[in-house]
Structure 1
Amino acid sequence: MILVDQKQRVLRDSKEVVALTQELVRIPSVYRPDTKDGNEQRVAEYVADYMKQMGLEVHIEEVEPGRPNVIGILDTGRPGKTLLFEGHTDVVTEGDRSLWTYDPFGAEIVDGRMFGRGTNDTKGNLACAITAIHSLIQDRETFGGKIIMCVPCDEEGMMIGIKHFIERGWAKDVDGAIICEPEENQICVSQKGAMRIKVQAYGKQAHGAMPLSGVNPNTRMAKIIVELDALEQLEKERVGKHDELGWPSITPTILMAPTAGEPQINVVPDQCMTTLDIRTVPGQDHEVLKQEIQAILNRLAEKDPDFKADFEVIEDRPWTSTDRDEPVVKAVATAYENVTGKKPVYNGVPGATDGTFLHLAGVPIITTGAGDREVPHQTDEYVDIADLVETTQLYREAALEFLRK
């Protein structure tokens, strides 16, 4: 181990994490199919080159054309545990650029804040993790085992990157994972589950002046939505408000009729479709919820001979919960106290992350990182520079705490 003055180290790491965050944000990585720069390729290549220069063993694996995962490995060659850091390369669309005060891909720093898409979610935290690993290398810190830096594509979509990472066996021997997301450095030990469901109601097209000559799917869908609202209330009463995650929810989002062709005010459509964004908490069983939805359709069909509807589960992501006594949780909690001098705050993640699938693969996870948790996906997204500095040291000390024990 090289003895480095703590203030000098923090200053060195601070300069690196700020510069690296700016470089990453300035490479647009909004997934836009068939569009130049509409994928994660360039930012993944930048990260891969950066980690190679740090001395990591680097692997690039294409998940889909233009959408690679990057895996960096620091292997001490000594026995010990394996710690995984995970931070994705993709960002959501910037939306209407005219609404931004600053260039969404400019990474401008104003009054101690860096603005731009991905500063908060989650290129800033990706930079924190990479910088933390680099800091350990530069200081020749002594510990055992391995650190894996997982940098997947498509977290904002169907999470094909982390699924590919797991399918390829990378998560097999991981003992703990830190999911690098904007959580104000709170230690999030739980995550809401998510189900995305498409519900279709079928009818028969007719003239609006003679609706009885057809079957209106819109009125059938209205009854379905009312029943789903009642199911949400029953679930809230049954499981209550979770201490970290709040209330479960069943939310109709898209409502469309007809589902194909041109709508017209004097035409009864032949189909109506809605999508459901269902968020669950511990105590809820996704299979039981699917059965409850089917039971709603069955009950409505019994009352109405013209009722016909079905549903399709598009995505199913279970809720997660990690015990506070897990070594990775304790390591981050201890690191937080050492870095900040304050007691850690425990919380939960309101949405799913790539950690959801790592949890399913048997990896204990916690989610923490720099940035106001209300800021992701907003216009003028930002991260405070002070948060980037603190998070870098948090990740660094958490790795040491975890791998020295």
Structure 2
Amino acid sequence: MNLTKSDRIRRDYERVVSLTQQLVRIPSVYRAEDPDSNEEKVAHFVADYIRNLGIEVHIEEVAPGRPNVIGVVDSGKPGKTLLFEGHTDVVTEGDRGRWKYDPFGAEIVDGRMYGRGTNDTKGNLACMITAVQSILEDRESFTGKIILCIPVDEESMMLGIKHFIGQGWADEVDGAIICEPEENQVCIAQRGALRVKITVQGKMAHGAISWSGINPNWRMAKIITALQQLEEREQENHGKHSYLKWGTITPTVLQAPVKGDAQINVIPEQCMTTLDIRTIPSQNHHKIIEEIEHIFYQLKREDEHFQADYEIIEDRPPTETDPDDPVVSAVYDAVAEVLEIEPQYNGVPGATDGTFLHVHGIPIITIGAGDRDIPHQINEYVEIQELGKTTEIYRNAALKFLREKDE
């Protein structure tokens, strides 16, 4: 018996809320010091869940206890391939005592589900799975393939998506929907992330006899001041992006000494800082590194004792997808249809797994349930009604992208 549209929406809503609760109640914070604290349990739960839906499942271990799950739905008809991506890892819950509700309890209170990952991004992982389940159960007609990419380690070095691409899974993908909390806005751009570690060398000495040492802290202060000026120049040269605002250079960790104990009357041997550089599409990471090298060169000319080096920890370029790309159009039309509003274009302030799919040549669009400001906070939550809307958006977008023929 065919369901009415309202009955189907109610069915999918109940399923996505239940599935989100089940996912959140399986902690998947990666803790390097605890071999049992990783994504393994939730990944195998997801693998079993989608296998029971009749979906072809592949499990690939990226690191010990950290498996990617890949689901493949083949229509049996030639056509495009659409990828949904939602990661299984979540960030630490922090101080449990500061949570109003159990961070892994997935309690529903006044229309909100609370818990680590409800927003980022187990709720959206549940939405993409439920959307595909709905398509299959209702025997909706489509062409090509749907790939469910469910990787590990998005919150750190993105090892999961790198492995997924390295194994060839992304080679034939025509468009990707990145399932992250974006208030169901159509996000067509992402800021890039360039992480750099800078170390300044000095000479350890007594603080009372400072002339017998070389203080790396004074030299680091000059570097940080020069980097602030570089940020100002970059912002002036590149301006404000429509969706991403400005590129930024942010010193985060500042440490001296780098090794050993700090002592107030000791000049440290080294000083270290890390930079979280966020870029917009018009910026060039290679040129930014050249500017850092030029800062070192200028400071060396002024100070014979200046000695510094840098290490690039991670390089994730900014992304931008043409609004006229078929995957963007499919999502845009789905949002307009489901929410009955004119969709909003926007951008993602941070990098996602979609960054590396973009580098691989795949058009990406980022959209999902959840307040954009809530990820990683104490008392993280998602509006449960929004989970239902997002499921419907994903379902409709897939069918529009993989429709039988172009309209």
TM-score, normalised via structure 2 length: 0.99
Within the alignment, does 1:353 sit opposite 2:352 as a pair? yes
2:392 matched residue in structure 1 = 393
Deviations 1:332-357 (A, max 9, x none): 00111111111110000000000000
Q: 1:308 — aligned with what?
A: 307
Within-5 A mapping of 1:15-94: 15-35=14-34, 37-94=36-93
**1:378 is paired with a residue of what secondary structure?**
coil
Contact kept? 1:195, 1:317, Cα under 8 Å = yes
1:102 touches 1:108 (CA, 8 Å); kept in 2?
Answer: yes
Q: CA deviation at 1:34?
A: 4.0
Name 2:168's counterpart in structure 1.
Answer: 169
Deviation at 1:36, TM superposition (A): 5.1
Tell whether the 8 Å contact from 2:195 to 2:275 is kept in structure 1 after alignment: yes
Unaligned 5+ runs, structure 2:
none
Whether the 8 Å CA contact 2:254–2:272 is kept in 1: the answer is yes
Query: What does 1:4-403 correspond to in 2, within 5 Å?
Result: 4-35=3-34, 37-403=36-402
The share of aligned pairs that are identical, in percent, is 64
CA apart distance, 1:12: 0.4
1:40, 1:67 within 8 Å by CA — same for their partners in 2? Answer: yes
Q: Provide the C-alpha distance between the structure 1 equivalents of 2:246 and 2:80, rounded to a whole number of angstroms.
A: 36
Counterpart of 1:349, as a letter, is V
Cα distance in 1 for partners of 2:224, 2:74 equals: 53
The one-letter code sitting in structure 2 at the alignment partner of 1:388 is L
After superposition, the CA RMSD in angstroms is 0.7
CA distance in 2, matches of 1:233, 1:34: 40
Q: Which moved more, 1:66-75 or 1:36-45?
A: 36-45
Residues 132-154 of structure 1: per-residue CA shift (max 9 Å, x gap): 00000110000110000000000
CA distance in 2, matches of 1:195, 1:85: 25
Contact 1:29–1:37 (Cα < 8 Å) also in 2: no
State the shift of 1:4 in Å: 2.4
What code does the residue aligned with 2:259 have? A
Q: 2:332 and 2:269 mapped to 1: Cα distance?
A: 56
Amino acid in structure 2 at the alignment position of 1:165: F
Q: Which moved more, 1:168-177 or 1:334-343?
A: 334-343
Q: Distance in 2 between matches of 1:210 and 1:374?
A: 49
On the 8 A contact 2:83/2:146 being kept in 1, the answer is yes
Contact 1:258 1:269 in 2 (8 A): yes
Supply the AA of the counterpart residue of 1:289. Answer: I
Q: Select between 318-327 and 29-38 the one with higher mean Cα deviation.
A: 29-38
* Distance (whole Å) between structure 1 residues aligned to residue 320 and residue 36 of structure 2: 37
Q: CA deviation at 1:179?
A: 0.1
Report the Cα distance in structure 1 between the residues aligned to 2:69 and 2:90, rounded to whole angstroms.
16
C-alpha distance in 2 between matches for 1:242 and 1:76: 40
Q: Secondary structure at the match of 1:126?
A: helix
Q: Which amino acid aligns with 1:393?
A: E
Q: What TM-score do you get using the length of structure 1 for normalisation?
A: 0.99
For residues 137 and 203 of structure 1, the distance between their equivalents in structure 2, rounded to whole angstroms, comes to 64
Secondary structure of residue in 2 paired with 1:210: helix
Q: 1:4 and 1:71 mapped to 2: Cα distance?
A: 29
Letter in 2 for 1:159: M
How far 1:35 sits from its partner (Å)? Answer: 1.5
Q: State whether residues 28 and 37 of structure 1, in contact with CA within 8 Å, keep that contact through their aligned partners in structure 2.
A: no
Distance 1:402 1:314 in 2: 37
Q: CA deviation at 1:123?
A: 0.1
Once residues 92 and 84 of structure 2 are traced to their aligned partners in structure 1, the CA distance between those partners, rounded to angstroms, is: 25
1:72-128 CA-partner distances (Å, limit 9, x unpaired): 011010111100000000000000000000000000000000000000000000000
Conserved? CA contact 2:35–2:65, under 8 Å? no
* Aligned pairs, number: 404
Look up the SS of the partner of 1:283 in the other structure: coil
